[in-house]
Structure 1
Amino acid sequence: MRRIRQVLQLHFGARTSARVIAREVGVGRSTVQDYLARAGAAGLGWPLAPELTDAAIEQLLFPAPSCKSGARRYPEPDWGALAREMKRPGVSLMILWEEYAAVHPQGYGYSRFCELFRAFERRLSPTMRQTHVAGHKAFVDYSGKKVPIVDPLTGEVRLAEIFVGVLGASNLTYAEASWTQSLPDWIGAHVRMFRFYGAVPRLLVPDNLKSGVTKASFYDPELNRTYGSMAAHYGVGILPARPNKPKDKAAVEAGVRFAQGYILGRLRHLTFFSLAECNAAIAAALERMNDREMRRLGVSRRQLFEAVERAAMQSLPEQDYEYAEWRLARVGLDYHVEVAGFCYSVPHALLREQVDTRATARTIEVFHRGKRVAAHLRHYAGPRHHTQPEHMPSAHRRYAEWTPERLQRQARDIGPSTEALILAVLARRPHPEQGVRSCLGVLRLFRGIAAARAEAVSSRAIEIGALSHDSVASILKHRLDQKASPQAADGTPLLHDNIRGSRYFH
């Protein structure tokens, strides 16, 4: 479903052709056309409604299969081998088709055969000059050169990366220094680049950096989930350059070289003691570079951007993208998922299911099949597990509701002696929670009996130190609360700190 969403965004949002979409998404052109035809029949466009989950989209685009058989598929020859054969003297498409038809008499006819071969030829790798439409593409990459930054306290030198972004039509360039090429720095650089432009292009063309492209492939590139989320926030499509094909992003390659010479070359004699100081110097050099007149065009990058490109770009959203990191997780047997060392609950029906977690600086969200199923405030300290009552099974929820404070309140409703008994049972354990079950059992014994007798039983239990469920049950069973306390011959109670009493021998 994520691939279908990307196809819809590239077609309706970026207005990219089906051939380009097929190449960049990694599916056949006919597959792209089939997706778009199904979307048109279902009335889907872009952007999609927020309530459309992956399951809903799948139901709209791929309803239950009918009993009709699929379209006939003809065998295809090795087009690459045929292209090599065509270089031989005297070989024509008619000869190649006749050899194909001899092996596959039920295959393609001559005209369709020629059409498919010409289409394959157009997919070969000719060298071409790319003409970039205004507002259409921005090329992004990291410079191979790094800038040294000195720690003012220790004198240690640390190298910072240089991020460069170049608009395709005007060549307006953005650059900044960051400590790493990691995902947070990569996403943050894009956010600041869009803010610098004041607008958003329709497409981003990144290199196959791991922070942007999880799996680099000509046939099936897989975008980083967080990078895709950032692109969706700004309504921009992502078309990764093909691996080892620098001509796909010639604009940014030229921009990187120019930035290295114009910015780093002019700053090489300066010593920076912080990343902010370095970025301030880069911003000043960048302003001079963008305002510098280009010899062949007679205008500066900034002037060309304002004249032809800004109006063609999309407007910025009201809020900047908030960095969020997506991860796959498996729900544990305790219906919790772990994110950065802390565990957060999900509905117990999702036990052992695979889910997506979205972590921002403030929140943790959990998604299952594209639908959000849980949201928590993010924790950095304190208890490791954080559970919402509605996520618990009913039996667990009932047990969790019995806190020491609630038990004390319920005992207080019966009387002061009962409350004192409950407090004594809780205090007897190293942790009050360990006495919850005993207290539950004691209070259950008092159901259906008069409060006066419950008070008498509690007093007798405290008097003889019977601080367990079984002891209180014995007092009730043998009616010990109705018997007088043992006394000495002179009538004084046999209660004294120096007298062990019968409970000592239990």
Structure 2
Amino acid sequence: MIQYQKILELADEGLSLRAISASTGHGRPKVTEILQLAKDKGLESPLLDEMDDQWIEEFLYPHKSIENSGYGMIDFDQVHKELAKPNVTLSLLHYEYEVSCRANGKIPYAYRSFLRHYKSYADKYKATLRVRRKPGEIMEVDWAGSTAFITDRDTGEKIKAYVFVSTLPCSQLSYAEATLSMDLNAWIGAHNRAFQYFGGRTQIVIPDNLKTSVTRHTLKELVLNPTYREMCDYYGTICMPARVRAPKDKASVEGSVGTLSTWIIAALRNEQCFTLDELNQKVAKKLEEFNHRDFSKKKGTRFSAFEEEEKFALSPLPLKPYKMAEWRTAKVRPDYHISIENRFYSVPYEYIAKPVDVRVSEHLIEVYFKHMRVATHSRLYGKFGQLSTSKDHMPDNHKLYIEQTPENALKWAESIGENTLRIIQYLLDTYQVERQALSSIFALKNSSRRYTKYEFERACKEILSITNRPTVKLIQNQLKAIKKKDAEKALEKDVSLHEEFGFTRGKDYWGGKSK
């Protein structure tokens, strides 16, 4: 057998390839190959007692134990690499291996033997085994059963702090933080920080059946909390809650909860923290120690396994973390406003008396009707009773009233004619209170909607020819009179036309006799 152990030890002492080859009796190409393989796989001196020549050979050439058996060789490194890709399974890789073996005249291993050899290889040489979990596929989340505490400075009272735990099952890398509640704000915020800690997002998130994540979960129906669903959509991940009373669906996080309860919560039992930030600083320190602890039965740590075998598979995060938003329902009031925390926001008047969905975020209020956004407002803070009203949401008559200003009134009058402008200017000059003048002008505007500009200007001209003190009532009466006079003239014209162009043949034409 090749003296692998001696080659590595001599190389560690700084001997040249020529000297190592002369000392071991192996050719320089073989010595170079062994040293390169050892470097690629991270095998360095000093070696452990169990790392004899047989162990090193199996480590550097895992396929050697089966290459002389007549079966086709399995490239375990390639299998492990390919298995990390989306939708690639061991059954697919075994099929490709079978095709390759038959093309080269080799006997392929059966699927069970293929699995056994891969599992033996991964258990021994890799920190992660990809038979059950693919890298970057799943993030499991939960609250720890045990609680931490912070101390009130004034009273000395112990206040509970709940520990959020998130785990990547493939590498077993975990994240933890303490919060003062388990409400929706804390739940969403913890997810944001977990994604930031891992530096990417997984394809699937598996929570428990908490109210902050699941509204209803039965055999026939799954309804997610709207805010939690929106967060998952924002990150482009799929939420697959664990089945009710099925802890195996998130076994990794269940195991991490127990372990982290020991290595973080129990480890801090004698520490005294007065603020949540102070507690989380100590939690973060313990978390780093936990993630960098060596595996008991494998080489490496959770962090090294994540860096080498899972980090590359995570999808990139959005530029900004998800902003917390809460969904509510409201009914549009008769004044086309909805009430959110005793502050009022307008909605198009067509939706009066209809139920709408409202998305409430820190700075924005968004109103949806049947999944279509119909209104958006900046969120109001401060005293109750404030209004946020958009002119676009008003009926036409409300718009006219709101837009009443002296400037708008004069501009409107100018668009009709000179006499109308004189009357509007007169009304603005004679009323002592501007609002009274604008109310009168508003009444005129409403009247103008039933008449043409020509009729309105004509009425104003006739009123000014009669009096120097025109009133709204006089103009309205004159408009009616003009309308009536024009209608009578039209009727007279119609009658005259009928008389002029009616039947003129008479009785003589039809054979009648005059008396």
Q: With structure 1 as the length reference, what TM-score do the two structures score?
A: 0.59
SS at match of 1:158: strand
CA distance in 2, matches of 1:280, 1:454: 88
Aligned residue number for residue 403 of structure 2: 401
The 8 Å contact of residues 218 and 242 in structure 1, kept in 2 or not, is answered as no
Deviation at 1:164, TM superposition (A): 0.5
CA distance in 2, matches of 1:152, 1:409: 67
Aligned residue number for residue 298 of structure 2: 297
CA 259–347 in structure 1, closer or farther in 2 if over 3 Å, else same: same
CA distance in 1, matches of 2:204, 2:277: 29
CA distance in 1, matches of 2:320, 2:280: 23
CA distance in 2, matches of 1:249, 1:232: 21
Deviation at 1:14, TM superposition (A): 8.3
Q: Which amino acid aligns with 1:401?
A: E
1:324-348 CA distances to partner (integer Å, 9 max, x unpaired)? 1122333333333333332222223
Aligned residue number for residue 187 of structure 1: 188
CA 297–407 in structure 1, closer or farther in 2 if over 3 Å, else same: same
Q: Which amino acid aligns with 1:393?
A: P
Residue pairs, 1:423-434, within 5 angstroms:
423-424=432-433, 426=435
Task: Tell me: higher relative CO, structure 1 or 2? Use CA pairs within 8 A at least 6 residues apart.
Answer: 1
The 8 Å contact of residues 216 and 223 in structure 2, kept in 1 or not, is answered as yes
Aligned residue number for residue 264 of structure 2: 263
Bigger drift between 154-163 and 358-367 goes to 154-163
Q: With structure 2 as the length reference, what TM-score do the two structures score?
A: 0.58
CA distance in 1, matches of 2:441, 2:88: 69
Instruction: Please point out which of 446, 457, 461 is paired with 2:469.
Output: 457
1:279-313 CA distances to partner (integer Å, 9 max, x unpaired)? 11100110010011110222110011111111111
Aligned residue number for residue 386 of structure 1: 388
Gaps spanning 5+ residues in structure 2: where?
1-84, 90-129, 415-420, 449-455, 478-515
Aligned residue number for residue 139 of structure 1: 140
SS at match of 1:314: coil
1:334-368 CA distances to partner (integer Å, 9 max, x unpaired)? 33333333222222333333332212111111223
CA 416–396 in structure 1, closer or farther in 2 if over 3 Å, else same: closer
Bigger drift between 186-195 and 349-358 goes to 349-358
Greater C-alpha radius of gyration? 2
Gaps spanning 5+ residues in structure 1: where?
1-12, 18-128, 428-434, 462-468, 475-506
1:381-437 CA distances to partner (integer Å, 9 max, x unpaired)? 36533221122222322232225785699899758864353342648xxxxxxx853
The 8 Å contact of residues 401 and 442 in structure 2, kept in 1 or not, is answered as no
1:361 paired with 2:362, answer: yes
Q: Which amino acid aligns with 2:469?
A: V
Q: Which amino acid aligns with 1:421?
A: T
SS at match of 2:140: strand
CA distance in 2, matches of 1:136, 1:425: 69
The 8 Å contact of residues 138 and 168 in structure 1, kept in 2 or not, is answered as yes
SS at match of 2:334: coil
CA distance in 2, matches of 1:178, 1:454: 81
CA 305–143 in structure 1, closer or farther in 2 if over 3 Å, else same: same
Deviation at 1:265, TM superposition (A): 1.2
Q: Which amino acid aligns with 1:367?
A: Y
The 8 Å contact of residues 200 and 236 in structure 1, kept in 2 or not, is answered as yes
1:169 paired with 2:170, answer: yes
CA 159–405 in structure 1, closer or farther in 2 if over 3 Å, else same: farther
Aligned residue number for residue 36 of structure 2: none
Q: Which amino acid aligns with 1:390?
A: D
CA distance in 2, matches of 1:157, 1:454: 89
CA distance in 1, matches of 2:466, 2:205: 75
CA distance in 2, matches of 1:137, 1:442: 69
1:34-83 CA distances to partner (integer Å, 9 max, x unpaired)? xxxxxxxxxxxxxxxxxxxxxxxxxxxxxxxxxxxxxxxxxxxxxxxxxx
SS at match of 1:316: coil
1:422 paired with 2:434, answer: no
1:78-101 CA distances to partner (integer Å, 9 max, x unpaired)? xxxxxxxxxxxxxxxxxxxxxxxx
1:188-246 CA distances to partner (integer Å, 9 max, x unpaired)? 10000000000111100100110111113243121011111111111110100111222
Q: Which amino acid aligns with 2:372?
A: K
Residue pairs, 1:194-343, within 5 angstroms:
194-343=195-344
Q: Which amino acid aligns with 1:279?
A: N
CA distance in 1, matches of 2:466, 2:473: 15
Q: Which amino acid aligns with 1:386?
A: S
CA 401–206 in structure 1, closer or farther in 2 if over 3 Å, else same: same
